[in-house]
Amino acid sequence: MTTFDNILEEAGPFGRCQKRIFALLCLVSLPFAGVYVGIVFQGFTPDHWCRVPAVLIFLKIMSLIVINCNYCFVFSVQDGWEYDYEGRNSFVTEFDLVCSDGWLVDMFQSTLNVGFLIGSFAFGYLADRFGRRLSFLVSNVINVTSGMVVALAPNYISILVFRGVFGFAVKGGWMTCYVLMTEVVGKEYRRTVGILFQMLFSVGNLILPLLAYFITDWRWMQMYFPSSIPVYSRLVPESPRWLLSQNKASTALQITEALAKENRQKLSVPDLETLTEEGGDSPSASLLDLVRTPNMRKHTFIFMFNWFTSAVVYQGLIMRVGIAGGNVYLDFFISGLVEFPAAFLILFTIERIGRRLPFATANIIAGVSCLITAFIPESLFWFKTVVACVGRLGITMAFEMVVFVNTELYPTFVRNLGLSVCSTLCDVGGIVSPFLLYRLANIWLELPLIIFGAVAIVAGGLVLLLPETKGVPLPETIDDIEFPNREQSGFVIIYNGINLQSAKFKNIKNINIQWCQTHFSTI
């Protein structure tokens, strides 16, 4: 039986056409960095003080007479604030979001992550129901429209509302691009293009401080994010894999033939009736499958916690650059540079050492670095910066690794659902992170680092409880997760007289695992 992967190998697994598509879709990942952490510059809070018109009169009187003052009064602010703008205009200075209104700055980032959360579910459904290309087009239209409205909104409430809509479209478009890109390349290239796609986010992190340095008004900076994502869906084809899943084999073949032609390859025409997606029919998935059995429960909890931790620590460390003092442009640029070794370290280690140890080590290094940074005095500024950058490198590695390790430890029929459910904790972490950083920093600037360090170390320890997946075939059933070594154990699992390890019953998943663990027979 011919699979699409067989045809794609003939057409060219990563030829000229896929490289063109990859380059176009990477343009989405670049501005995504500015959307994700642009609050560092758009929400800059300069030194400020209360505006009191009577102060000048009071100072004049004080210069003329001597007054013995042994008490003072504190009044509520009635005339606004004065700011040391430093040549920049942020939404904080425009809407006076300081002192008792400082929590509204946190809402700017949290509403974005609420949009991310909803967009993940909505566009996941739209892409599966109506196709990757149409979903990409819809996300582009909403992206550009809502992004411009945020830049032109007259009040802060409308900014928050459309900021959420903006996040909804941006995350949906990013996810659709990621899926489409991995579906049009050969299976041996999928992990590489996925990591490179995420690296473009790091490139965006380097561009952001340069952009903020020259564009000093937050509204004009906001204009850049949506305008840099052109609507070029005509240049991007529909995913042949999706068309195949919708029983549109002839259309899928037409697109694949065009792909082969651009790659200067010849494609033999298969029998359309035998053309299938790899894997064939699979059982329907449900949320209960993620927690029904012991190992599945363990994996689900660990991945949820790691997605949450990665988002909280990653966003927190980046946003902390804006409140830590020093040159925010230079500090942001330097911390962005350390993200690049992360991708190369992952590619170098995962096939030599494995997944579990680098994944756990990255989390633990990030956590320990955060704890050390919190107690380094400001007089050792450069040493403090270096240690903080090591932490940033560690959490970047962990963030990039959780994606594919998550997919390798779920059975085929529940893999997409498991990844979607666990990754929602990433957006929940993004909602929590600004409140955790900005509110705790008001108590003690280094207190958020203590929290970040603790949760990252715990996350690393939990990863050590996961099985190694290097060189292990992807699991097909829940049985593969619960009994990973059964092929080598010398035992067969018998349930009601049925050998559950036989190919005929490979897809049986709703079994009483506890019963099977106590009722087996030796070969």
pLDDT in tens, 426-448: 999 999 999 898 889 888 989 99
Confidence of residue 99 (pLDDT cuts 50, 70, 90): confident
* pLDDT value, residue 400: 87
By the 8 A CB rule, do 241 and 179 touch?
no
* pLDDT value, residue 487: 52
Whether pLDDT at 522 is above 80: no
Residues of the chain with CATH 1.20.1250.20: 1-281, 282-484
Percent of the chain surpassing pLDDT 70: 79
pTM, 2 dp: 0.78
Mean pLDDT to the nearest integer, 89-96:
83
Instruction: Count CB-CB contacts under 10 A for residue 435.
Output: 14
* pLDDT value, residue 308: 96
Structure-token pair, residue 256: 């694949």
- In degrees, rounded to 5, the angle at the alpha carbon of residue 242 between the alpha carbons of residues 239 and 243 is 90
pLDDT in tens, 179-200: 888 888 887 888 788 888 888 8
CATH, domain 282-484, list 3.30.70.3340, 1.20.1250.20, 1.10.2020.10, 1.10.238.10? 1.20.1250.20
* pLDDT value, residue 361: 96
Structure-token pair, residue 106: 């946190």
Q: Is 83 helix (H, G, I), strand (E, B) or coil?
A: strand
Whether pLDDT at 415 is above 90: no
Structure-token pair, residue 332: 């942001």
* CA–CA distance, 324 with 44 (Å, rounded to integer): 12
Confidence of residue 517 (pLDDT cuts 50, 70, 90): very low
pLDDT in tens, 288-319: 888 989 999 999 999 999 999 999 999 999 98
Q: Among residues 325, 323, 321, which one has the least CA distance to residue 335?
A: 321
* CA–CA distance, 116 with 429 (Å, rounded to integer): 11
* pLDDT value, residue 520: 41
Confidence of residue 498 (pLDDT cuts 50, 70, 90): very low
* pLDDT value, residue 523: 36
Mean residue pLDDT of the chain comes to 81
343 Cβ partners below 8 Å, 6+ apart? 195, 196, 198, 199, 202, 400
Element (H, E) at 1: none
| Burial class of residue 362 (count of CB atoms within 10 Å of its CB; 0-12, 13-18, 19+) | buried
Q: Among residues 173, 170, 101, which one has the least CA distance to residue 137?
A: 173
Tokens 């959490």 found at: 395
Percent of the chain surpassing pLDDT 90: 28
Amino acid, res. 289 = D
* pLDDT value, residue 179: 82
* pLDDT value, residue 55: 53
* pLDDT value, residue 420: 79
Lowest mean pLDDT among 223-237, 266-280, 317-331: 266-280
Element (H, E) at 410: none
Whether pLDDT at 507 is above 50: no
User: Which string of DSSP letters, residue by residue, matches 271-328?
Assistant: -GGG-B-TT---PPP-GGGGTSSHHHHHHHHHHHHHHHHHHHHHHHHHHHTTTS-S-H
Confidence of residue 65 (pLDDT cuts 50, 70, 90): low
Whether pLDDT at 350 is above 90: no
pLDDT in tens, 229-264: 665 667 888 888 888 878 888 888 888 888 889 998
Q: Classify 1-281 by CATH class.
A: mainly alpha
Q: Among residues 227, 272, 229, which one has the least CA distance to residue 7?
A: 272
pLDDT in tens, 443-454: 898 999 999 999
What is the DSSP pairing of strand 491-495 with strand 48-50? unpaired
* pLDDT value, residue 269: 64
Q: Among residues 353, 366, 381, which one has the least CA distance to residue 318?
A: 366
- Between these two residues, 462 and 348, which has the higher pLDDT value? 462
Whether pLDDT at 62 is above 70: no
* pLDDT value, residue 57: 55
Whether pLDDT at 512 is above 60: no
